[in-house]
Amino acid sequence: MNPESRRSLIALSLVCAVVVSLCLVLLLPAEEPVSAEDLHCRLDSLGEDPAGPADMRERARQLGALFYGDSDECREFAAELTELHLACCDVDFLLVYNTGGFGGGTMADDPEWPGVLEGIREELAALGYSSLVVEHRRGSGGLMGFLDELDELGCDYCDKAPVLAAKLAFLTRYNPSLRVITTGRCFGAMISNEVMELEAGNPQVYSIQAGWPFWYTGSCGERTLLIEDNGLRPDILDSRGVLRFLWALGEANACCLPSSSPPEEGSFRALNWYLKAPGHTYTWGHPGVQSRVTAFLREQFG
């Protein structure tokens, strides 16, 4: 098989994978999630004013047990949360990065959203606030991570969103002056919004999101900014309905092959390849991003 035929086969396989993935996302049954009430009942049981780092870690472990029981994962959760609490003691804002795609990427892999976070930091600094960026890893990558993420997409992150919401609730409970902005685009925006729904009663938690996929039907409160296009062209993932999305996706990729690097006009990643997704790109330089984020921050914190 020559290289061009091989790449064409890869392109066809990726489009088929997208179709199958969408079907699974839309048809998988929802699971019973950890509710906001469950979460805050556990937080209330932890008490106030921990005696020191060891006591803080023990309270974080008790919170983690809600998700992981008495396991190594629970102890890792407690250690990470305690360390993050200490790191946030002297900052005004914690900015949370949630990767797009299927959860296995990192900030180092993302050519777009880290620049938006830097723009947010600069705007907060101009308003007189200090900030810290933390990366929330929700997936492991690879085939198993991909399948796990599909399962979560089918129930709107019913397992993963409560874990992040618990961390933010814990941090703000024991640091009343801290404010948190959870951010992300595409699937990172979905989990951010699910966290906001769980933390609807927490006035210290805010969110900046971009590019919801068309099937997601969440709702936004006044502490959330949702960017639905970049100011230059509509986002293909905002297409109304499966057929319109698939038609637009096929049209965009009909005369080209998948790339190992993201196209400038917008893309999404499937395993190690990028498919064109016109308009699905959000950088600080886009007029519909910088202007809206700046206005939101000034309105909320100026």
Task: Express each pLDDT in 16-61 by its tens digit.
Answer: 555 555 555 455 554 567 888 889 899 999 988 888 889 999 999 9
Q: Looking at the predicted structure, is the pLDDT value of residue 198 above 70?
A: yes
Same domain assignment for residues 122 and 52? no
Q: How far apart are the first and last CA of the chain?
A: 61
Same domain assignment for residues 169 and 248? yes
Same domain assignment for residues 99 and 82? no
The mean pLDDT of 275-286, rounded to a whole number, is 88
| Whole-angstrom distance, CA of residue 90 vs CA of residue 79 | 19
Same domain assignment for residues 110 and 207? yes
Same domain assignment for residues 61 and 160? no
- For residue 180, the model assigns a pLDDT of 98
- For residue 3, the model assigns a pLDDT of 55
Q: Looking at the predicted structure, is the pLDDT value of residue 77 above 60?
A: yes
Q: What is the CATH number of the domain that holds 289?
A: 3.40.50
Same domain assignment for residues 150 and 57? no
**Do 184 and 113 touch, CB atoms closer than 8 A?**
yes
**Residue 36: inside a domain, yes or no?**
no
Same domain assignment for residues 69 and 176? no
Average pLDDT along the chain = 86
How many structural domains comprise the chain? 2
- For residue 26, the model assigns a pLDDT of 52
Model confidence, pTM: 0.86
Same domain assignment for residues 164 and 237? yes
**Residue 33: inside a domain, yes or no?**
no
Q: Looking at the predicted structure, is the pLDDT value of residue 248 above 60?
A: yes
CA distances from 145 to 142, 205, 277 (A): 5, 28, 22
Same domain assignment for residues 50 and 177? no
Q: Which domain holds residue 22?
A: 3-28+95-301
Q: How confident is the model at residue 146 (pLDDT cuts 50, 70, 90)?
A: confident
CA-based radius of gyration for the chain? 20
The mean pLDDT of 179-188, rounded to a whole number, is 96
Same domain assignment for residues 100 and 226? yes
Q: Looking at the predicted structure, is the pLDDT value of residue 62 above 80?
A: yes
**Residue 157: inside a domain, yes or no?**
yes
